[in-house]
A and B are shown apart, each in its own frame.
Chain A
Amino acid sequence: MSTAAVAARRALQQQRTRVLYRKALRNVLSWAVHRDIFYVEAQKMREQFEMNKDLSNLETIDRLLYEGESRVEKFQHPDPYIVPWAPGGSKYARNPPVPSEVITVVGFEF
């Protein structure tokens, strides 16, 4: 394979690890609400990622990423914590802004 294609594949793998780690940490945060428990569990998650830090074979990394993604999928929290105003949160689109076609006339007398 050409070096550019290899570099592109590695960059994609790096991005996939970042996305996977973020999803895993958010999952851990949803499951372990108490912060002291969260820090312990987050450290364990980090160690699992660190175990495979020094691999360089593209196929192995792809396979491990696939396994990691399916594990995160399996342990997904059914009611994850999402910031209220974000999509999926409880306050999302609660007060949508009034469309500009609606005109308010001030001083309208019946």
Chain B
Amino acid sequence: MQAARSSTLRALHSAVLQHLRVQPAQIGSTWGLFRAISAEAHAQGTCLSRSQVADRVLSVLKSSAKVDPLTVSETASFQNDLQLDTLDQVEIMMAIEDEFALEIPDADADNMKSTKDVIEYVVSHPRAK
């Protein structure tokens, strides 16, 4: 009697545990999860959404003293639409660096000629905050 009850209890116990037990994941998925968190594998870009990045970039441009806020848009070219010369463009890139806590190397900063380039660059940068 005692043995029967304990064996059914044990069966019930193991059945419950079977439901509750977390199955060990495959090696690939664990590794994939770890690599997804690590900075090296995060090649997708920043965790900010594109609209957030666009809003912040536009607000940086609008609050800059050298830019007319009415001409600012997402496809505005620095040279033609916003009438910025080279030194102004350097200052704008420094302001973007301050806004998103980035360090933009010289080669990348010289290649950016419009607001769209800036937004694309920030969205694809893994370290932009």
Contacts and interface: CB of A to CB of B under 8 A. Distances in A.
Contacts of A19: 106
A38 to B, nearest CB: 10
Contacts of B41: 97
Interface of B is mostly: helix
Contact of A104 (B30, B40, B94, B97): B30
A97 B38 contact: yes
A106 B24 contact: yes
B71 to A, nearest CB: 21
A46 B87 contact: yes
B106 A22 contact: yes
Q: Name, among A46, A96, A97, the residue most crowded by chain B CB atoms within 10 Å (CB to CB).
A: A97
14 contacts: A14-B86, A17-B86, A17-B87, A21-B87, A21-B90, A22-B93, A22-B109, A25-B91, A46-B87, A46-B91, A49-B87, A106-B25, A106-B27, A106-B30
Interface of A: 14-15, 17-19, 21-22, 25-26, 29, 42, 46, 49-50, 82-83, 85-86, 89, 95-98, 103-107
